[in-house]
Structure 1
Amino acid sequence: MNHIAVLLFSLGVCAVHCGSHTLEYHIALVSSPGPGVPQSTITAYIDGLKYGKYDSDTSRARFLTPSLSSLTEHLDMQTKYAQRFEVIQKHKMEFLMGYLNKTYVNGGFNIYQRKFACELHEDGTVSGYEEIAYNGKEVMMFDKVRVVYVPASQEALTMTQQWNQHYNHAKINKIYMENECIQHMKMYLPYLSTDLERKVCPKVKVSSSESDGEQKLHCRVYGFYPRDVEVKWIKNGRDEIHSEEAAQILPNPDGTYQIRVSVGVTPEEGATYSCHIDHSSLEKPLVVPFEASDIRNYYIVIPIVAALALALVALGIFVCRKRTTEGSRSSQESLPLANESHGP
């Protein structure tokens, strides 16, 4: 059964013969499935290309790229492996819930995630990794040298020890990672090579915003493929501005990717800002300037508006005082007339 479960990872695998490449599987199970949210999903990637998926709603594995559509018999076999694998993963999720629900409370909704990958390097050597997370927090990882799972934190130590005793999968996973997984990469190369060579140039939009008195510049890069991209803000054409926010590359429904890099800036007279994008689809890095005058104008407008507001307030006070003074004088001037009209 364990061997069959591991074979799930042969779900439509491919790699390119030259260069370094990664085959990666994302497994996710939720404790409370709902409409549009299957209890379990398995998604397969090769060099960032999402090519295969299985979910518990359909209980079927399917290819996501037309180039693999002819492999119907293989797909049927992978469906059977996935169904058996799903049962084992449910047991593992229950195991984690028993240990971690006391500390990782998530409002009754819990999610078990597993990332498994094998890597084929340009020199022919192979490697891989495996990580397990619960409610978005990594709890253990696979140690290929010691062939055991190790805790990601001290609080997961006892749980990981029990895991190694209860699930004797470490050796099997290592064998698969270094052998079958790599073999499947090479076997599927003729089918996915065209998809992997596809390149889509990124689109870019720069903007700014103000929050809590801080000015930020945003560089949104979207619609690009493959996944790897470098995005950074440059000041005065030479100085990189480091972002305090961790930028994540996110997938789009059409198979492309997007990322947004934001930085905080302090306006300086004559300073220039530009977003630099480096992607394999580009012949040279793309430079998109941001009009620094927009930032300066922002800070110039605020004092002007404030000054106008103060001027209006001062004018209002002056008018009120003037009316009060004039009213007082009019009253004083009318008293003698009143006395004259009511003479003794």
Structure 2
Amino acid sequence: MGCILTLALLFTFGIYVVYSGPHILQYRLTLISTPTPGSPQCTITAYMDGLNYGRYDSDTGHGQALVPSLSIPSLAEHREMQTRHARGVELIQRDKIKFLMGFLNKTNGNGDFHVYQRKFACELHEDGTVRGYEEIAFDGKEFISVDKERVVYVPVTQEALVITELWNKRYDYAKTNKIYLENECIQHMKMYLPYLSTDLERKVPPKVKVSSSESESGTKLHCRVYGFYPRDVEVKWIKNGRDEIHSEEAAQILPNPDGTYQIRVSVGVTPEGGATYSCHIDHSSLEKTLVIPFEPNKRSHFYIIPVAWLLLLLLLIILGALIYRKRMAKGQENFRGGKP
């Protein structure tokens, strides 16, 4: 079966509790074509409402729970079961990446490096409806997804037109995965929630640091927000208390080793007299929007004099000093010569 259908990171607790949504259970798989020291070739991670609760990697060859509530000894048998499943998943994914590389005429020789990724998620909404998705990406670009109406894999890019037809014949898992999505995935979600409720309800307020930097392209303001939980957060720069400054850089929310998250939002600005800038943060742990003003000090590059002016000023000072020394020397010669 497909990657997610046989996915190992599942715990069969035998506890069924009805939970209204919205909730989302997501699995992410990453497989790289070439073994890299310090980086597992295959990684599977499991998330409940953004909480990373389970992980498998090919280096250790074992699945593991990442939260204490799922690490209890009584679940050791289930963790062993998930490890067996994950090893099978890894074999299937190795076949898939070889198939893709062969079709796209790419090999893992000569230092080539390719990445295969797969996402699968089921969603339970407050009205009881169930939705979900399945996406496949290669080298960072999504190229195949599932058409929920026809229940087949469909191309996302022009390059994937031909390969999708072959994919449906070789890996005909769309219908089977749909059944899994609407049934087992939701059942597993309801099993996990009682054990993960404390972690899911945990709220850690963010810490914030604002700074600036200079480059050839101009001035940039940086707002680093870190140490917050849960994952969802909104960070933006505001000018003069009302105008949002849109960032040209895509900001990513990244995980920290302690289970919290971080993000940095940077924007380019043109220094203006009297203009004010502030970073605004919205997070579920905050009662109201957190506003951190950018306050340049005397050493800040934000208001520094352009280098050209500094060089000109320095040149004038040196020139003045030379003229002064020349006049002093001439005066001393006249004095020694007895000229009035």
The answer to whether TM tops 0.5 is yes
Q: Is the alpha carbon distance of 1:105 and 1:272 closer, same or farther for their aligned partners in structure 2, counting shifts above 3 Å? A: farther
| Range with bigger deviation, 13-22 or 93-102 | 13-22
The correspondence of residues 124-273 of structure 1 with structure 2, limited to 5 A, is: 124-273=128-277
| Range with bigger deviation, 130-139 or 248-257 | 130-139
d(CA) in 1 for partners of 2:174, 2:76: 31
d(CA) in 1 for partners of 2:204, 2:149: 39
Is the 2:9–2:86 Cα contact (8 Å) retained in structure 1?
A: no
* Unaligned segments of structure 1, at least 5 residues: 335-344
Among 31, 34, 38, which residue is 1:32 paired with?
Answer: 34
Structure 2 counterpart of 1:8, one-letter code: L
d(CA) in 1 for partners of 2:118, 2:237: 34
Q: Secondary structure at the match of 1:72?
A: helix
| Range with bigger deviation, 14-23 or 102-111 | 102-111
Among 294, 302, 306, which residue is 2:305 paired with?
Answer: 302
Is the 2:239–2:275 Cα contact (8 Å) retained in structure 1?
A: yes
d(CA) in 1 for partners of 2:145, 2:20: 29
Aligned length: 332
Residues 215-240 of structure 1 show CA distances to partners (whole Å, capped at 9, x for unaligned) of 11111000111100011111111111
Determine what percentage of the aligned residue pairs are the same residue.
Answer: 66
Q: Is the alpha carbon distance of 1:182 and 1:297 closer, same or farther for their aligned partners in structure 2, counting shifts above 3 Å? A: closer
d(CA) in 2 for partners of 1:81, 1:49: 22
The equivalent of 2:22 in structure 1 is: 20
d(CA) in 1 for partners of 2:57, 2:125: 31
d(CA) in 2 for partners of 1:43, 1:55: 9
TM-score computed with the length of structure 1 as normaliser: 0.86
Q: Is the alpha carbon distance of 1:53 and 1:4 closer, same or farther for their aligned partners in structure 2, counting shifts above 3 Å? A: closer
Is the 1:117–1:129 Cα contact (8 Å) retained in structure 2?
A: yes
d(CA) in 2 for partners of 1:297, 1:57: 46
Q: Is the alpha carbon distance of 1:295 and 1:270 closer, same or farther for their aligned partners in structure 2, counting shifts above 3 Å? A: farther
Among 80, 92, 97, which residue is 1:93 paired with?
Answer: 97
Structure 2 counterpart of 1:236, one-letter code: N
d(CA) in 1 for partners of 2:111, 2:289: 45
Is the 1:116–1:130 Cα contact (8 Å) retained in structure 2?
A: yes
Cα distance, 1:11 vs structure 2: 1.5
d(CA) in 2 for partners of 1:148, 1:65: 35
Cα distance, 1:329 vs structure 2: 11
Structure 1 counterpart of 2:305, one-letter code: I
Q: Is the alpha carbon distance of 1:217 and 1:165 closer, same or farther for their aligned partners in structure 2, counting shifts above 3 Å? A: same
Is the 1:224–1:258 Cα contact (8 Å) retained in structure 2?
A: yes
Give the superposed CA RMSD. Answer: 3.1
TM-score computed with the length of structure 2 as normaliser: 0.87
Q: Secondary structure at the match of 1:58?
A: coil
Structure 2 counterpart of 1:165, one-letter code: K
Cα distance, 1:290 vs structure 2: 0.9
d(CA) in 2 for partners of 1:196, 1:217: 33
Q: Is the alpha carbon distance of 1:104 and 1:219 closer, same or farther for their aligned partners in structure 2, counting shifts above 3 Å? A: farther
Of Structure 1 and Structure 2, which has the larger fraction of its residues in helix? 1
Residues 195-224 of structure 1 show CA distances to partners (whole Å, capped at 9, x for unaligned) of 111111111001111111411111100011
d(CA) in 2 for partners of 1:233, 1:170: 43
The equivalent of 2:51 in structure 1 is: 49
| Higher Cα Rg, which structure | 1
| Range with bigger deviation, 323-332 or 144-153 | 323-332
Q: Is the alpha carbon distance of 1:118 and 1:183 closer, same or farther for their aligned partners in structure 2, counting shifts above 3 Å? A: same
Q: Secondary structure at the match of 2:100?
A: helix
* Unaligned segments of structure 2, at least 5 residues: none
Cα distance, 1:311 vs structure 2: 3.5
The equivalent of 1:284 in structure 2 is: 288
d(CA) in 2 for partners of 1:147, 1:240: 42
d(CA) in 1 for partners of 2:239, 2:18: 38
Structure 2 counterpart of 1:11, one-letter code: L
